[in-house]
Amino acid sequence: MTEHSTDSTLHSSRSIPLQTAVGAALVLLAIGLGVGASAVSSEAGYGGVGPNFLPWVVSGVMLVCGILCVVEARTGGFRALEDGSGDERAHWKGFIWVSAGLLLNAMLITTIGFILSCALCFVLAVRGFKSSEGRLDLRPQIWIKDLLIGVAVAAPVYWMFTQLLAINLPGLTNTGWL
């Protein structure tokens, strides 16, 4: 056996318990989603399906994926798994930027509206991803450019949901356009 195949065999045997744990976690998460879906009303709405239809579909598909992951791990592990291309360690500064964007979005969406809170989330996520690449640029021009891109992405999504699908999202005004 070559040195490379010995390393990959050792890597595979050490990772089988972790791969099994990931599959088991997916199964548990699917069961949790199923329990949550059972608490949602099943009264049929538009199109003959109730609001619990999609959560049941997601939980069922996740359960199948989790079971397949456990089976794959227990029968030799993920055999075609390539080595990761990322760094050896997590990039915590980037993680903090992205987490701040998500948390601020959740906190501010009802205050400043969907478009602005999603644009802010986009701006902070871009900071995090660029930071992880070692290209963090904090110049005001870059912040403004990213904010405009975030608005350009969030506004059509907001309008599609509020104007075309008649789904209420938090807005800055009551017009349905901002």
Q: Among 14, 43, 74, identify where a domain stops.
A: 74
What's this model's pTM, rounded to 2 decimal places? 0.59
Domain with 148 in it? 92-164
- pLDDT number for residue 128: 94
- Residue ranges of the chain with pLDDT lower than 70? 1-14, 44-49, 86, 172-178
DSSP notation for 140-167: HHHHHHHHHHHHHHHHHHHHIIIIIS--
Q: Does residue 66 sit in the same domain as residue 130? A: no
**Which amino acid is residue 28, in one-letter code?**
L
Number of domains in the chain: 2
Cβ-contact 78, 66 below 8 angstroms: no
